[in-house]
Structure 1
Amino acid sequence: MIEIVFTKRNDRVKMFFSRCKELKDALNHICENCRPILNNDAYLTDAELAQRLRVSRRTLHDYRNSGMLPYYEIGGKYLYSEKDVDNLLMSNYRNVICNP
């Protein structure tokens, strides 16, 4: 009977641990970037939305005050529905037609 011993130097073992690390990194990325869903909608914080839209949090404050951007205020924190943000962006989309 032939006995095979796997050590840390074995290519299969190296590949196995490399794949485990890739899987761990992918799961960490999902955990860090996954937003909990409530009523089939994800919500963004002030800081997250400002970063995504590349505007300041003060600009978001102006959007809230003008009634342009719907929001939830819970304990002094603001939350924005991703659906509401998508609708706002789509309603303000302007298609440019270039005439050559």
Structure 2
Amino acid sequence: TDKEVSARLKVSRRTLQDYRNEGRIAYIQLGGKILYRESDIERMLVDSYRTAYRQAAT
């Protein structure tokens, strides 16, 4: 649910709505309830992953 996913991603439910509107995260709407697949959340996290880099000391 929205509540569970927003807690897991540590974002507000409004931010989650923005992610849906922007197409960043897939969802299913049944009646008035928004649901997410675990695999879609994992894929979004993997796709958004950026490796850290070190700046050379000067």
With normalisation by structure 1, the TM-score equals 0.53
- Structure 2 residues without counterparts, runs of 5 or longer: none
Q: If each structure's strand is expressed as a fraction of its own residues, which one has the higher value?
A: 1
* Corresponding residue for residue 37 of structure 1: none
The CA distance in 2 between the partners of 1:68 and 1:80, in whole Å, is 12
The CA distance in 1 between the partners of 2:2 and 2:26, in whole Å, is 12
The CA distance in 2 between the partners of 1:94 and 1:59, in whole Å, is 20
* Corresponding residue for residue 9 of structure 2: 53
- Structure 1 residues without counterparts, runs of 5 or longer: 1-44
Q: Which has the larger radius of gyration?
A: 1
Q: Give the number of aligned pairs.
A: 56
Runs of 4 or more, structure 1, over 4 Å off, are none
RMSD: 1.0
With normalisation by structure 2, the TM-score equals 0.89
